Structure 1
Amino acid sequence: MVEYLRIRALIGTLALAASGGLLLPTVTHAAHSRTSPSSDKRILLAIVNRDRASHGLLPLRLNSLLTHVALLHSKDMAAHDYFAHEGEDGSTPFSRMDRAGARYRYAGENLGTDTGSNQIAMLEAIETAMLQSPGHRANLLRATFTRVGVGIVTTPDSIYVTEDFAG
């Protein structure tokens, strides 16, 4: 069952990437507002859990191991200027979680990127776009997911977000 869900989740996200579904719209925000990495995680977790609550789901718990995995992937994407579930080294979301020692029966990954200067508005825009994408929405609203890792990296003009889910 675990392998089936892993493959199904990866195929769904690869299909979204091929169709351009993972490439989120570029949004320009007038106000300049950069937040700290720890507050970014808390803000995004609050947005995710707000969306889950509106669908009658329990909140996700922030997991430090999954956050480490997600952050490394966001850093890799920013450093090598790419946007994909497959890492520069050929790793997959699941191989990265396995390598870090994460335990799970179900796992998934969402990616988002945006440009602008208002960090909170960019996080909201990314999460809104994810809810409009069937594969991302499924990950966000999957009842079997209980933990999430959030990796957020900002460059002078962009933000890279990785959400790694496990249950």
Structure 2
Amino acid sequence: MNMEIKRKGLFALAGIATLGWSVCNPAFSAVLAPTQFDQYMLELVNDLRANPQGWANDYLSGDLSEGLAPGTLGTNSRQPLAWHSSLFQSAHGHSKDMLDNDFFGHTGTDGTSPHDRMDNAGYPFTGSWGSGENLAVRGNSTFTGVSTETTKQLVVDLFVDTGIAGRGHRLNLLQDNFENVGISVQFDSAWGGFSSGTLPSVIATQDFAYNSEGPYLTGVAYDDSVVDDDFYTPGEGLSGLDVVIKDLSGNVVGSTTTMDTGGWQLALNSGTYDVYINGQLAGDDVVLESANVKVDYVAAVPLPPAVFLFGGAVLGLAGMRRQGRSE
């Protein structure tokens, strides 16, 4: 069995353009939609942001700042990332470009940078802003497509960041300011980007950004039917559910529907809100301040829906199961 692994990451903050390169194809914008594996990777990233010490216990022998100066990364929760369609377009375009042209790197075939690509795709870099990009790929002669296992392994590879000076991928994953992300996980049956030759390969692009918009309420609706583990698994997403946000006076201040993957997101003003998903109260008196907050809807059978909330901290509601890890 042949296997290869590669990772690359670039990072920028506070109005400084990302020092990486990539490509954008605006023609994709009208037809692209994330896959359940893209959503799964987002859920994994948000899980590690909610519980970085738990991930460090699992994969870094408890040392979140492994490979860095002691204490570089705090164990506090980071705000959950809200999906952004423009960042998905840029991530999808770059993953496709790398697979189509047998290369791996932040420099795309047209020489544009990740920041340019995100900007061209329509992400509004307004006010104070920043952007960053992570890339990861695994090749294995046994791969036949994108899988749940490989998708998670790519996130673990980026988090552990073995052999990467400065652990830049881990820093991107745990950057406090990032509020939006687009992720694209794709497969090629004979990718030629490895020095050893062609291999069936799974590649992922993660495009991160923040700006003066937001904060966001975000989450995912799923039924936990594929793997009963209180966590989103590909194949469990619930599409087309109504999401309605009301203020405490009962006025509707925002609404959307869940994507095909089950994910949803809304930018709102700071305030306290009730969140209704599929006509049911999923989040009661949810306080939205400067950071994003996540509200998940779990259509468990025979149990009632449950919620998983987190912003600066993990929250729960009395009488409902709280979804997430506690370590």
TM class by shorter-chain length?
Answer: 0.7 to 0.9
The AA in structure 2 aligned to 1:158 is S
| Match among 183, 200, 206 for residue 163 of structure 1 | 206
Bigger CA drift: 93-102 or 39-48? 93-102
- Cα distance in 1 for partners of 2:138, 2:181 equals 21
The AA in structure 2 aligned to 1:159 is V
Alpha carbons 1:154, 1:160 under 8 Å: kept = yes
- Cα distance in 1 for partners of 2:96, 2:185 equals 8
1:94 maps to 115
Residue 133 of structure 2 is aligned to residue 109 of structure 1: yes
Unaligned runs of 5+ in 1: 15-36
Could you tell me the TM-score, scaled by structure 2's length? 0.41
Per the TM alignment, residue 101 of structure 1 is displaced from its structure 2 partner at its CA by 2.3
Q: Which has the larger share of strand?
A: 2
The AA in structure 1 aligned to 2:132 is G
Instruction: Give secondary structure in 2 for the equivalent of 1:131.
Output: helix
2:40 maps to 43
1:141 maps to 174
Identity of aligned residues (%): 34
Bigger CA drift: 152-161 or 74-83? 152-161
- Cα distance in 1 for partners of 2:84, 2:135 equals 17
2:79 maps to 58
- Cα distance in 2 for partners of 1:110, 1:162 equals 6
Alpha carbons 1:77, 1:83 under 8 Å: kept = yes
2:64 maps to none
Unaligned runs of 5+ in 2: 1-13, 22-33, 53-76, 162-166, 190-199, 211-327
Could you tell me the TM-score, scaled by structure 1's length? 0.77
Per the TM alignment, residue 123 of structure 1 is displaced from its structure 2 partner at its CA by 1.3
RMSD of the alignment, in Å?
1.9
Post-superposition CA distance 1:17-53 (Å, at most 9, x none):
xxxxxxxxxxxxxxxxxxxx61111110111011101
- Cα distance in 2 for partners of 1:95, 1:159 equals 25
Higher radius of gyration, 1 or 2: 2
| Match among 76, 90, 99 for residue 97 of structure 2 | 76
Per the TM alignment, residue 100 of structure 1 is displaced from its structure 2 partner at its CA by 1.7
- Cα distance in 2 for partners of 1:45, 1:102 equals 18
Per the TM alignment, residue 115 of structure 1 is displaced from its structure 2 partner at its CA by 2.1
2:322 maps to none
Per the TM alignment, residue 150 of structure 1 is displaced from its structure 2 partner at its CA by 0.6
